[in-house]
Amino acid sequence: MPSQVYVDQQICIGCGLCVSIEPGVFRLNGDGVSEVHDQGGGDSGKIQQAIDSCPVNCIGWR
Ligand code: SF4
């Protein structure tokens, strides 16, 4: 069963890095924090890059 990526929006600082790395999956919502808008919309390598690049480590798999 494939993993699902999530953003902990309580921790996200809205830097936009994940959005620039994989806009097919992440976007900034109206509150200025990241959300997953399309779980299947991206490349898993790019998602992992976003996870590894997030400055507050609030993206992960579950
Ligand atoms: S990289 Fe991390 S802190 Fe920056 S917008 Fe994405 S989830 Fe938020």
Q: What is the pLDDT of residue 3?
A: 87
The answer as to CATH 3.30.70.20 being correct for domain 5-61 is: yes
Task: Give the residue ranges of DSSP H helices in the chain.
Answer: 17-21, 44-53
Q: What is the pLDDT of residue 1?
A: 53
pLDDT in tens, 1-51: 568 999 999 999 999 999 999 999 999 999 999 999 999 999 999 999 999
End-to-end CA distance of the chain: 11
* Ligand 1 closest atom vs CA 28: 5
pTM exceeding 0.85: yes
Separation of CA 59 and ligand 1 centre (Å):
7
Separation of CA 8 and ligand 1 centre (Å):
9
Cβ of residue 18 lying under 6 Å from some atom of ligand 1: yes
Separation of CA 7 and ligand 1 centre (Å):
8
